[in-house]
Amino acid sequence: MEIPTLDKFPKKVLAGIDVQRAFIVSRLIVAAERVQVFRALHGKRMKAAAIRRALKIHDFYRDTFLNSLVSLGLLHKKGNTYWNSRFAEKYFIDERSIYWTRQYSKECVQAYEALTVLEKALASGRTSASIRGVKKPRYTERMKRDRREAEDFTQMLFHFHQDDAEALAKYLNLSRHRTLLDVGGGSGVMSIALARRNPNLRACVLDLAAVCKIAAGNIRRAGLSKRIRTLAGDIRRKLPAGYDVIMFCDVGMVSRQLLQNAYASLPPRGLLVLVDRYLSEDRTQPPDRVVAQFVGSSFPQATWSEMVAAVEARGFQAVKAGRVHRDLWCITGTKPAMGFE
Check residue 239 for interaction with ligand SAM (CB under 6 A): no
Give the range of 44-52, 115-123, 233-241, 318-326 binding ligand SAM by CB under 6 A: 233-241
Helix (H, G, I), strand (E, B), or coil: what is residue 45?
coil
Half-sphere exposure of 211 (CA within 13 A, CB side): 28
Shortest CB 207 distance to ligand SAM, Å:
4
Nearer to ligand SAM by Cβ, of 46 and 295: the residue is 295
Check residue 283 for interaction with ligand SAM (CB under 6 A): no
Nearer to ligand SAM by Cβ, of 83 and 139: the residue is 139
Shortest CB 334 distance to ligand SAM, Å:
21
129-132 LR contacts (CB < 8 Å, sep 24+): 129/296
Put residue 165 in one of left, alpha, beta given phi > 0 → left and psi -120 to 50 → alpha. Answer: alpha
Shortest CB 51 distance to ligand SAM, Å:
34
Single residue of 33, 52, 185, 262 touching ligand SAM by CB under 6 A: 185
Contact (CB, 8 A) for 262 and 256: no
Shortest CB 161 distance to ligand SAM, Å:
4
Check residue 228 for interaction with ligand SAM (CB under 6 A): no
For the chain, give percent helix, strand, coil, nearest 5: 50, 15, 35
State the virtual CA torsion across 333, 336, 339, 341 in degrees, nearest 10. Answer: -60
Single residue of 180, 186, 229, 245 touching ligand SAM by CB under 6 A: 186
Check residue 236 for interaction with ligand SAM (CB under 6 A): yes
Shortest CB 105 distance to ligand SAM, Å:
17
Nearer to ligand SAM by Cβ, of 72 and 258: the residue is 258
Single residue of 117, 174, 184, 272 touching ligand SAM by CB under 6 A: 184
Check residue 266 for interaction with ligand SAM (CB under 6 A): no
Kindly state the number of chain residues that form the binding site for ligand SAM, as judged by CB under 6 A. Answer: 20
Single residue of 25, 174, 235, 262 touching ligand SAM by CB under 6 A: 235
- Interaction pattern, residues 140-179, with ligand SAM; x per rule: CB under 6 A: x--x----------x--x---x------------------
Between CA 194 and CA 176 the distance in angstroms is 13
Nearer to ligand SAM by Cβ, of 42 and 136: the residue is 136
> CA nearest 51: which of 74, 25, 32?
32
Contact (CB, 8 A) for 297 and 286: no
Side chain identity, residue 119: E
Question: What is the DSSP annotation of 168-202?
Answer: HHHHS--TT--EEEEET-TTSHHHHHHHHH-TT-E
283-292 LR contacts (CB < 8 Å, sep 24+): 285/327, 286/327
Residue 48: Cβ within 10 Å count? 18
Single residue of 33, 151, 152, 207 touching ligand SAM by CB under 6 A: 207
User: Residue 75 — φ and ψ, nearest 5°?
Assistant: -125, 155
Binding positions for ligand SAM, rule: CB under 6 A: 140, 143, 154, 157, 161, 184-187, 189-190, 207-208, 211, 234-236, 249-251
